[in-house]
Structure 1
Amino acid sequence: MVDQDWRRWVVYQVYPRSFADANGDGVGDLRGILSKVDYLSKLGVDVVWLSPVYRSPMDDNGYDISDYRDVDPLFGTLADLDELIAVLHARDMKLVMDLVVNHTSDEHPWFQASKSGKDDPKRDWYWWRDPRPGHVGGAPGAEPTNWESYFSGPTWEWDEATGQYYLHLFSRKQPDLNWENRQVRAAVYEMMNWWLDRGVDGFRMDVINMISKNLALPDVPPRPGSPYGPGNRHFICGPRNHEFLAEMHREVFAGRERHILTVGEMPDVTVEDARLFTDPERREVDMVFQFGHVSLDHGAHRFDPKPLKLSALKASLADWQTGLAGTGWNSLYWGNHDQPRAVSRFGDDGAHRVAAAKTLATVLHLHRGTPYIYQGDELGMTNSPFAAIEDYRDIETLNFHAAAVAGGTVDVPELLQAMARTSRDHARTPMQWDASDQAGFTTGKPWIAVNPNHVEINAAAQVDDPDSVFAHHRRLIDLRHTDPVVTDGSFEPLVPEHEQVWAFVRRTPDAELLVAANFGADPIEITLPVDEGWCRAEVVLANLPDADPVLPTITLRPWESVVLRRRG
């Protein structure tokens, strides 16, 4: 990984189902994305990351893949994808694809062969096991382990025809591939090379730290009131994870003329593990998606919300800044297709929405690492007013609700209130292009309801407004492209225990940047622990007009953020 230019790139995530619908069927598609390339170019991003567009039964909105080498007709054709690659490249933008290889769809030909009989050559391409000794297959408690699926219930599905269970960490329609099998790995690498030869510029690797399992498959302590428990310790960063990713790099990425961007989504990854995964000398991945900061407001699970302290959020990101300094590289994100809207979660989606959305972007982009913008965050899109379970489409949300109702142990109105804050569907409502019916997303009926606030919050109202959230993102991207301190500078947190002010310094031998942000609805005056030389610093970016900070004592208006620069 010699080329370091990739460290200045900004990535924009497109969730194709909800981005832009060109044919009026209510579902976004590749032709819709093609129609918005000018928009992405104007924003200034370097990389477009597509959530899955492969052939799929859509049990998990495309993260259950039945053909890795074709586009699902819901999204268009392979020719459409080729055209998108070419159009992006002509604009000096790259395309990153989602890589989902911990599991496939149960409709993938590999799994259809695997389940056809115990003697099939692909039987060992997946995890098949006998029932627990002394138990009848298919009966409660007969599963080989008591691991709990991320989508509720056991991680094992009984197959009557062959008399064995198969493993699925997610939906029962997402059986886990057996990466211990060399043929599986070879088939995956061949597929990846096929996409790179086609022009794709990298991969975001879905739950890639789950591909190596503890072969003993031991039981775990169950959750209270349930026979199942989280088996994470037995498949997170497993014994051969680093070996598999190093092999992937040798077989797929090494020797290519252009830099291939690789980011591994890694739930529960530690800083220590991430240093190994992202150390350039080890040649595994460029960066990881860690979940520390987006788990701080969770209790026992996603739908068990708890209060979030700003000091904890700052500490979480600072730990990663410090932990990967000088060795690895960070991914920087507030939201994605699996998280609720950032401004509703970490900011203020009411009276101070615009200022809060800008401040969240400022703080994120000025950390060391690669920023990821999730579609609509550049507009300050918010959570939707979901109220009833019928409003949701997400399999995780629906399954959890069904299990809670069946179990009778959860207060359902309270659960619905939690889902209204934390469901993944908040990120999946249609992109808000204009104030027209269906927000300009489709001429048909959208697959999930448009947020009613699209009348006020939409791209048409912002792209030419110099004071908009969109324009602020453009300025942040330009700062990253032009000021080496943003990419190369060290990170020093200021007032880390303060519960309203987020402040830090980025520093190189030639220059320094200081970021100060008010994460509250009340103005605040604070003296920062910096020297008097900062009183002569220039304001290079501010989210409110007439910013005139004087350090070391600074007064910040509600949700105000400023970036100051001085020579080193």
Structure 2
Amino acid sequence: MTGTTTKPWWKDAVCYQIYPASFKDSNGDGLGDVPGILSKIDYLKDLGIDVVWVDMGYDISDYEKVYPPYGSAEDMEDLIEACHKRGMKLILDLVINHTSDQHAWFKESRSSKDNPKRDWYIWKPPRYAEDGTRLPPTNWRSYFSGQTWEYDEHTGEYYLHLFAKEQPDLNWENEEARKAIYDSAMRFWLDKGVDGFRVDCVNMYSKGVEFKDAPIVDPRFYEQPAWLYYANGPRIHEFLREMNSTVLNNYDAVTVGELPHTPNPKKVLEYVGAGDKQLSMVFQFDIVDIGQGREHKYHFEEWKLPQLKDIVAKWQRFIEGTDGWTTVFCENHDQGRSISRFASDAPADRTHSAKLLSLMLCALTGTLFIYQGQEIGMINVPRSWPIDAYRDIESVNFYKTMAAQSHNDPAELDYLMRSLQILGRDNARLPMQWTGGKHAGFTDAEGGPWMRVHDAHGEINVERQVREGEGSVLGFWKNMIRFRKEHADVLVHGAFEEFGMEDERTFVFGKRVGEKRAAVVLNFTGEEQTVELPGYEGLVFEVGSYDDADSEEEGAEKGRTRTLRPWEGRLYLARA
């Protein structure tokens, strides 16, 4: 990691996350792949991307190979070279909380209780109820519903899996396991030229050694959420410091940690303070968690705009006066699309909504992350899609569990489908919409893609927006990325100031650095709204989400008052 005497390259970067299965299929098997990514590398360069983040999956059977349907290690080497040739960097997912149950390490571990790798994973004996019923070691609930423990008949013990049962958790308490992780999962790819990692569930490696039962928050189920026992554990910072001293300090690599269940800024700063050398930055999930249920993630709850504004302000302010850093994003592979969640995906509104969110994000301090399809305004699946159209294990298991618990009550099933249509992970995993043609130009497979293409791909696709030019969502994103880089001093690094935080219709904020100021006004409704610009001297209109915003500025509106049209955003600058 870079020291504090020079500005790290990753602070000003614009990053683009790729979910390979759904980005571009090159060989006609219906699944996206690495050569498909390579075929679109100039598209990413033209968009203004600095860092390509390839999400290579979470069921790792060999850290030193590529999932075969995606391609080969040689394909990855070609992609690394192609990125570097164009002045871009490449980062990969670092999945080291768990492996696949098909990994050679786990096969050895489960072979016998006295195998040398037995302690590389977390094994515990059963508990027994008074009537003799065998019970798992704790009542922890998996992220994918059901218990976190899987019984192994061969050795008569349970192994821990916070996620799918095919993904056993590694035991970070074992020093030999940690050394093997550093060599196989990290050095191997850094030596090939990878520029860093997005670190999966980075705060879950230290689970302690007590393994207590979780408090009961939903008495309808045996399994209960237990993140208070396995997230931010007692040795987590020790492990991350070791990871840096052992591996990362030898490379100019960036680390972006996935940090759920950590809402306290002081706790987050413990991970990202540059002086402590643990992580470059983390993803804080408060924004993308908006609307999620308290007891069950996919129980959608209504929310108001001040919630989003408070979260933005919280994470914009938390690095002020510190040596920490932050990220800017509102989409990824695990979330519903931002237009559908935070604005309006109605046909008349979705272009303005996409531009509004682009303008907001590009004006915020931190490293900017864009998710594939966000730059063309892709939206959630239609409400009409049945559960059979969903592919995500988390969503499908949740639906089945809750449907069975409610005895298939029609009202509950309708609520579940509405919640999944808003929050479900499949929304982000639909094939990328390259054209308005067959299968959205994603694949030539006769049987179609691995997952259904969005019904609206004829209206929302890259080919059409390239043809439309600057007026399209894609054109707007290109201009906003360019504008953000031109004014990085105030937009990427400036201090944040909020205004009118209780207003449920509009969002007004400012950015400042030295004598330079930026002001952003956003209308988060489908009706006209009046706003007051911040009281900065000399504000001049620079960019707006409506094509004619410039002419509107030179019309009747004077002083600090502005009338914003539905889903309109505007940005102003005051130069010293």
Q: Scaled by the length of structure 2, what TM-score is found?
A: 0.93
Choose the corresponding residue for 1:341, options 334, 337, 354.
337
1:356-375 equivalent positions in 2, closer than 5 A: 356-375=353-372
2:535 aligned partner: 530
* 2:208 and 2:235 in contact (8 A); partners too: no
Tell me the distance in 2 between the aligned counterparts of 1:326 and 1:334. 25
Choose the corresponding residue for 1:169, options 142, 156, 162.
162
* 1:485 and 1:507 in contact (8 A); partners too: yes
1:49 aligned partner: 53
2:258 aligned partner: 265
Choose the corresponding residue for 1:554, options 550, 556, 562.
562
* 2:292 and 2:423 in contact (8 A); partners too: no
* 1:479 and 1:486 in contact (8 A); partners too: no
1:317-336 equivalent positions in 2, closer than 5 A: 317-327=312-322, 328-336=324-332
* 1:207 and 1:264 in contact (8 A); partners too: yes
Return the letter of the residue paired with 1:267. P
> Deviation of residue 218 (structure 1)?
0.5
1:377 aligned partner: 374
* 1:340 and 1:424 in contact (8 A); partners too: yes
1:37-186 equivalent positions in 2, closer than 5 A: 37-52=41-56, 62-132=57-127, 139=133, 142-186=135-179
> Deviation of residue 220 (structure 1)?
1.4
* 1:298 and 1:306 in contact (8 A); partners too: yes
C-alpha change, 1:314 and 1:551, in structure 2 (3 Å) is farther
2:444 aligned partner: 443
* 1:495 and 1:528 in contact (8 A); partners too: no
2:459 aligned partner: 456
1:353 aligned partner: 350
* 2:366 and 2:493 in contact (8 A); partners too: no
1:396 aligned partner: 394
Greater alpha carbon shift after TM alignment, 521-530 vs 391-400: 521-530
> Deviation of residue 135 (structure 1)?
6.8
* 2:519 and 2:533 in contact (8 A); partners too: no
> Deviation of residue 546 (structure 1)?
2.6
Tell me the distance in 2 between the aligned counterparts of 1:286 and 1:193. 18
> Deviation of residue 417 (structure 1)?
2.2
* 1:151 and 1:171 in contact (8 A); partners too: yes
Which segments of structure 1 move beyond 6 Å, counting only runs of 4 or more?
none
> Deviation of residue 387 (structure 1)?
2.2
> Deviation of residue 134 (structure 1)?
5.5
Query: What do the CA deviations read for 1:39-68 (whole angstroms, capped 9, x no partner)?
Result: 10110110010111xxxxxxxxx3111011
> Deviation of residue 301 (structure 1)?
2.0
- What is the alpha-carbon root mean square deviation over aligned residues? 1.5
> Deviation of residue 537 (structure 1)?
2.0
Tell me the distance in 2 between the aligned counterparts of 1:361 and 1:273. 29
> Deviation of residue 416 (structure 1)?
1.8
Query: What do the CA deviations read for 1:247-273 (whole angstroms, capped 9, x no partner)?
Result: 1111111133xx311100011113111
Alignment of 1:235 with 2:230, yes or no, is: yes
Tell me the distance in 2 between the aligned counterparts of 1:156 and 1:109. 20
Query: What do the CA deviations read for 1:365-398 (whole angstroms, capped 9, x no partner)?
Result: 2111111100000000011125211101100011
C-alpha change, 1:167 and 1:545, in structure 2 (3 Å) is same
C-alpha change, 1:253 and 1:106, in structure 2 (3 Å) is same
Return the letter of the residue paired with 2:345. D
Return the letter of the residue paired with 1:394. D
1:295 aligned partner: 289
SS in 1 for 2:275: coil
SS in 2 for 1:262: strand
Choose the corresponding residue for 2:33, options 29, 33, 36.
29
> Deviation of residue 551 (structure 1)?
4.5
SS in 2 for 1:454: coil
Percent identity (aligned): 44
> Deviation of residue 136 (structure 1)?
9.0
Query: What do the CA deviations read for 1:202-241 (whole angstroms, capped 9, x no partner)?
Result: 1001101111112111111222201111111011111111
> Deviation of residue 480 (structure 1)?
2.4
Return the letter of the residue paired with 1:490. A
SS in 1 for 2:572: strand
Tell me the distance in 2 between the aligned counterparts of 1:80 and 1:475. 32
> Deviation of residue 407 (structure 1)?
2.5
1:220 aligned partner: 214
Query: What do the CA deviations read for 1:389-438 (whole angstroms, capped 9, x no partner)?
Result: 11011000111122223333562232122212221001000000011100
Return the letter of the residue paired with 2:177. V
Q: Which runs of 5+ in 2 are unaligned?
A: none
* 1:13 and 1:51 in contact (8 A); partners too: yes
2:499 aligned partner: 494
Q: Which runs of 5+ in 1 are unaligned?
A: 53-61
C-alpha change, 1:218 and 1:24, in structure 2 (3 Å) is same
Tell me the distance in 2 between the aligned counterparts of 1:121 and 1:357. 54
- Report the number of matched residues: 552
Tell me the distance in 2 between the aligned counterparts of 1:91 and 1:133. 60
Greater alpha carbon shift after TM alignment, 266-275 vs 194-203: 266-275
> Deviation of residue 317 (structure 1)?
1.5
SS in 2 for 1:373: strand
Q: Scaled by the length of structure 1, what TM-score is found?
A: 0.95
> Deviation of residue 4 (structure 1)?
2.4
* 2:94 and 2:198 in contact (8 A); partners too: yes
1:482-521 equivalent positions in 2, closer than 5 A: 482-483=486-487, 484-521=489-526
> Deviation of residue 133 (structure 1)?
5.0
Tell me the distance in 2 between the aligned counterparts of 1:135 and 1:472. 65
C-alpha change, 1:108 and 1:509, in structure 2 (3 Å) is same
C-alpha change, 1:412 and 1:134, in structure 2 (3 Å) is closer
1:57 aligned partner: none
Tell me the distance in 2 between the aligned counterparts of 1:332 and 1:429. 23
Return the letter of the residue paired with 2:462. A
Return the letter of the residue paired with 1:443. D
Tell me the distance in 2 between the aligned counterparts of 1:323 and 1:124. 39
Tell me the distance in 2 between the aligned counterparts of 1:136 and 1:153. 22
> Deviation of residue 149 (structure 1)?
0.5
* 1:494 and 1:528 in contact (8 A); partners too: no
Tell me the distance in 1 between the aligned counterparts of 2:85 and 2:119. 43
Tell me the distance in 2 between the aligned counterparts of 1:255 and 1:261. 12
1:425 aligned partner: 426
Tell me the distance in 1 between the aligned counterparts of 2:122 and 2:427. 33
C-alpha change, 1:479 and 1:150, in structure 2 (3 Å) is same
Return the letter of the residue paired with 2:351. V
Tell me the distance in 1 between the aligned counterparts of 2:374 and 2:221. 38
Return the letter of the residue paired with 1:260. A
